[in-house]
């Protein structure tokens, strides 16, 4: 293990794992260098939604090309807004190494290494899943441990017991589709466009969540999730009721999915005697999930940590925060570090 880097200075974070080109500068928080959290000095996200929307999903080659086109402008903007033009005052560069699309990851990773080399500062590779777990910490550095974290994104649905940064115990995960993937597939089927999560979130407010009784898979069974049956049930229902209102279908789908997420989170809090409940990942921006998680936490008498919606979806501030912590604890990453599209969270037992 190499020696810890100079975390007293701000970290430039870079995120290009999927369809957002993002850069952010995060300085040490009030708890000092190396402590989890930090102060967001800038966070710039260039979304590729318009580029991929006509295809109904992310086209990997287009994503990689767009990252290359946008990279320097997004980084420049993040540095300028942070008062660190040209990298002045940046003590390290952090970039997502995985999981994600390999051609997209390589853009941010190569760019980050080039900047670190030219500024002569450490480079640190960041696990995208761990970065999501740092989003609640950025906004609530005093979070109490252990906490139950529900990490729900386009690629993952993980229920974790987190006993501190770097200490994650997996309680359960999806055995088929991720929650965000179910949102995106159902939205596409209903013709609501891409990305599906925000579209369903919006239209569901006009629908009746009790209009259709969709299945709640594995509801009373452990901590794992399954959402592919729910997606199929939506398709079958619309086939049987071609005149059904999309708002009713969307609201009933969301109700079923959120019911399961919240029930399992409640069970996890009870099983771990957690001192807090956190949401993380893109689906954590969902208004129904946020409302229900806040109500659950109230009921259980523990605080809920809900990152602001912009910190739930992909951004580089969470990458910079995770990078700063990893740098302080493990030291810089080797310059030969590659992209790892299938990277999983480092787990403790």
Touching ligand KG4, residues 319-348 (CB under 6 A): none
Size of the site for ligand KG4 (CB under 6 A): 19
Residue 195 makes contact with ligand KG4 by CB under 6 A: yes
Q: In this complex, which beta carbon is closest to Zn ion, that of residue 127 or of residue 237?
A: 127
Residues 6+ apart with CB under 8 A from 90: 9, 10, 11, 12, 25, 79, 84, 119, 121
| Nearest approach, Cβ of residue 305 and ligand KG4 (Å) | 16
Q: In this complex, which beta carbon is closest to ligand KG4, that of residue 97 or of residue 122?
A: 97
Q: 201 touches which of ligand KG4, Zn ion, none (CB within 5 to 8 A by kind)?
A: ligand KG4
Residue 255 makes contact with Zn ion by CB under 5 A: no
Residue 255 makes contact with ligand KG4 by CB under 6 A: no
- Taking residues 151 to 190 in sequence order and writing x for each that binds ligand KG4 by CB under 6 A, - otherwise, the string is --xxx------------------------x--xx------
Residue 15 makes contact with ligand KG4 by CB under 6 A: no
Touching ligand KG4, residues 207-246 (CB under 6 A): none
Q: 313 touches which of Zn ion, ligand KG4, none (CB within 5 to 8 A by kind)?
A: ligand KG4
Q: In this complex, which beta carbon is closest to ligand KG4, that of residue 140 or of residue 204?
A: 204
Residue from the set 161, 177, 201, 248 that interacts with ligand KG4 by CB under 6 A: 201
Residue 281 makes contact with ligand KG4 by CB under 6 A: yes
Residue from the set 314, 317, 320, 345 that interacts with Zn ion by CB under 5 A: 314
């Amino acid at each position: 293990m190499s020696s810890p880097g100079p975390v007293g200075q701000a970290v430039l974070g870079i995120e290009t794992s999927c369809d957002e080109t993002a850069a952010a500068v995060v300085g040490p928080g009030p708890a000092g260098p190396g402590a989890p959290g930090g102060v967001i000095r800038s966070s710039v996200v260039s979304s590729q939604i318009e580029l991929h929307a006509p295809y109904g999903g992310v086209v990997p080659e287009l994503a990689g090309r767009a990252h290359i086109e946008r990279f320097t402008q997004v980084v420049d903007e993040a540095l300028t807004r942070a008062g660190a033009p040209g990298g002045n005052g940046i003590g390290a560069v952090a970039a997502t190494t995985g999981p994600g699309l390999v051609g997209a990851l390589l853009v941010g990773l190569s760019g980050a290494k080039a900047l670190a080399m030219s500024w002569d500062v450490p480079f640190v590779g960041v696990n995208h899943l761990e970065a999501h777990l740092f989003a609640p910490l950025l906004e609530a550095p005093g979070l109490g441990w252990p906490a139950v974290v529900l990490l729900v994104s386009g690629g993952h649905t993980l229920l974790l017991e987190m006993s501190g940064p770097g200490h994650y115990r997996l309680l359960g995960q999806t055995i088929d589709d991720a929650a965000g993937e179910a949102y995106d597939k159902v939205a596409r089927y209903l013709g609501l466009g891409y990305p599906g999560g925000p579209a369903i979130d919006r239209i569901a407010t006009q629908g009746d969540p009790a209009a259709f009784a969709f299945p709640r898979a594995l509801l009373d069974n452990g901590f794992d999730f399954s959402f592919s049956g729910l997606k199929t049930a939506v398709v079958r229902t619309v086939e049987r009721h071609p005149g059904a209102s999309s708002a009713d279908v969307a609201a009933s789908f969301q109700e079923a999915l959120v019911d399961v997420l919240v029930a399992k989170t409640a069970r996890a809090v009870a099983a771990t005697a957690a001192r807090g409940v956190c949401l993380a990942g893109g689906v954590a921006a969902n208004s129904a999930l946020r409302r229900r998680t806040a109500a659950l936490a109230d009921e259980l008498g523990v605080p809920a940590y809900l990152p602001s919606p912009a910190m739930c979806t992909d951004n580089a501030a969470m990458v910079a925060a995770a990078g700063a912590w990893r740098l302080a604890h493990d030291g810089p990453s080797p310059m030969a570090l590659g992209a790892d599209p299938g990277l999983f969270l480092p787990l403790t037992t």
